[in-house]
Structures are given as structure tokens and as C-alpha cells.
Amino acid sequence: MVSSGLGKDFFDRSVLDVAKDMLGVSICCRQSDGKITRMIICETEAYDGEEDLACHASKGKTSRNQVMYGASGVIYIYLCYGMHWLLNIVCREKGYPAAVLLRGTTEVSGPGRLTKRLGIDGALNQKVASCENGLWFEDNRSGEIVIETGPRIGVDYAGKYWAEKPYRFWFSKPKSGA
DNA sequence: ACCGTGATTGAG
DNA sequence: TCAATCACGGTT
């Protein structure tokens, strides 16, 4: 059960809770040579519904973002600025567009660098995050972490209200003595 | 601070 | 059709 990775139920919740709960979780990726890369997620962002003007779904369903309207636990990966693949996991129930953007791990800073390190691209879009698809999440968390929050990166276009929402989550150091 | 780079989008 | 936009990153 544990080794099968986090699934639909984990992601079928408030996207803010999921974004926070993914901190400290391991992202696991099977490379073409069969080796498995594992990294600890340390930074995420939440994108929550059509009313969130920073969310891709803020203008309704399109061919690009329709995956966000589907089942939770599915991978949403798209090309940004013509160069960077950005990895998201769909959250909430079918019909409600929401996703968590994975921005960084303890080894890699930056959402584009993360996918580059994992060696993944748009081929994974709309696939279920699972072992058989080569990308999954394992909750190996132990001990407490100190979670910090702040505004999301690069969303000034969304207007003051949404740009300033503390929808970015990260952790820096373990709680001492825990 | 500035620019490379290309899919997506909405306007025309 | 087409130009403006953009959840970035590497370099000045």
C-alpha cells in the first residue's frame, strides 16, 4: 500500500491542503535506463479553481487546461515560455479545476529545472501519477517540518488580490527536537 | 534587467 | 491568420 504511492484520494482534497501536505513527500521517477530518481519536495504552489485569476482555468476550460477539470492524481504538465516543462498534479473532484505546481526539491530549485532533472516532458500529460507510468509520489515523511507560506511566483498579471494570496508553500529546516 | 523561446489564446 | 501573453532560467 505504501509503496504504491499517493493516489486519487490523497489529491481529492482542498488544493491548499494537498500543496502543504506534499512538502516532504518523495517524488519518484523511473528513468529510461530503469534507475529510479527520488527527491524530497520542498516547494509547491496551489492553483484553485476558475475564480483564481492566476490559475490556468480562470478563463474556463480549454484544450490545454481541460486535464485540470478531470480526476485527481493525474499529471498536468505543460511547456512554459517555450522552454520549461512545468509539472502539476490535479486535485479536487472531477469538474473542479485545481492543481498543485511542483516548484522544487531539496536538490533542485525551480520548476523547470525539476522536470529537466527528472527527464520528463509533455509525454506524461494526462497520465495518472503511478509506478506503472514512471512517475509517482511516496510519503516517506518522518518528523516535523517548519512550513512557510507566501505569494506565488510570476503571477502579477492575476491582479493584486490573487497575486498576493499565500498559495506558495515551502519548508526550510526540520523542527529541532521533534 | 533583459532576453531566448514556442505553445496557447483570443481577437480579427 | 496573427500578435500578445506567459506558473522560467541563464546571463548581463
Strand B bases near protein CB (under 7 Å) are 4-10
pLDDT of A176: 47
- Kindly give, in sequence order, each residue whose CB lies less than 8 Å from that of residue A87, ignoring residues fewer than 6 positions away: A75, A76, A77, A101, A102, A111, A114, A115, A118, A120
pLDDT of A178: 38
Q: State, as a whole number of angstroms, the distance between the CA of A14 and the C1' of C2.
A: 39
Q: What is the pTM of this model?
A: 0.93
Q: Is the CB of A71 under 7 A from strand C?
A: no
For residue A166, give the C-alpha cell: 499565500
pLDDT-flagged residues of chain A (< 50): 2, 175-178
pLDDT of A117: 95
pLDDT of A173: 62
| Nearest in space to A47 (alpha carbons), one of A157, A170, A137, A163 | A163
pLDDT of A51: 95
Strand C bases near protein CB (under 7 Å) are 5-10
Q: State, as a whole number of angstroms, the distance between the CA of A58 and the C1' of B7.
A: 18
pLDDT of A12: 98
